[in-house]
Amino acid sequence: MPSRPDHTSPTALFGSEGELVSLSIAVEPRLLEDLLDALAKLTFPVNPELCHRPAQVTVEFPAYRSRVAEVREALASNGFEAERLRATGVLAAAGGP
C-alpha cells in the first residue's frame, strides 16, 4: 500500500541550480538605495520585495542556495553586515503547501 505524502512539513523547491530559497536583509531606510545598488551588481537578476517599517526596510528576494555566498560577498564589499542576510526555504517562507 503506497504511503501518502506528509503535507505537514514544507517541501523544498529545486531548480537547475539547486534549492530555491528566500533571502532577506533589513536595513535602515537611508541605506536602501545603497543596498539595491549592491544587489543590482550580482551576476543573476534580483526582483526584490520591500517591506517598509518606521526604522527599517526589509528587502526579500528569491535565489538559489548556491548563490548565497555571492550575495554575502556583495553585501560585505559594499559595507553591509553580510551575516545579517537570512535564507529560508521558499515554501517555509510562504507558509507551506
Q: Where are the alpha helices (DSSP H) in the chain?
A: 32-40, 68-77, 90-93
* Partner residues linked to 50 by β-bridges: 59
**Higher pLDDT pick, 14 / 65:** 65
Q: Give the residue carrying C-alpha cell 541550480.
A: 17
Indicate whether 62 belongs to any domain. yes
Compare 13 and 45 and report the one with higher pLDDT.
45
Residue 12 lies in a domain: no
Q: Is residue 7 part of a domain?
A: no
Residue 34 has pLDDT above 90, yes or no: yes
- Is 10:89 a contact under the CB 8 Å cutoff? yes
In a domain, 2, yes or no: no
Q: Give 78: exposed, middle or buried? Use CB within 10 Å, 0-12, 13-18, 19+.
A: middle
CATH of the domain at 47: 3.30.70.120
Q: Is there a domain that residue 80 lies in?
A: yes
Range of the domain at 41: 17-91
What the block records as the C-alpha cell of 19 is 534549492
15 — pLDDT class (breaks 50, 70, 90): low
In this structure, of 42-51, 54-63, 65-74, 85-94, the range with the lowest mean pLDDT score is 85-94
Please state the domain count of the chain.
Answer: 1
pLDDT band of residue 13 (cuts 50, 70, 90) is low
Q: CA-to-CA distance for 45 and 52, rounded, in angstroms?
A: 22
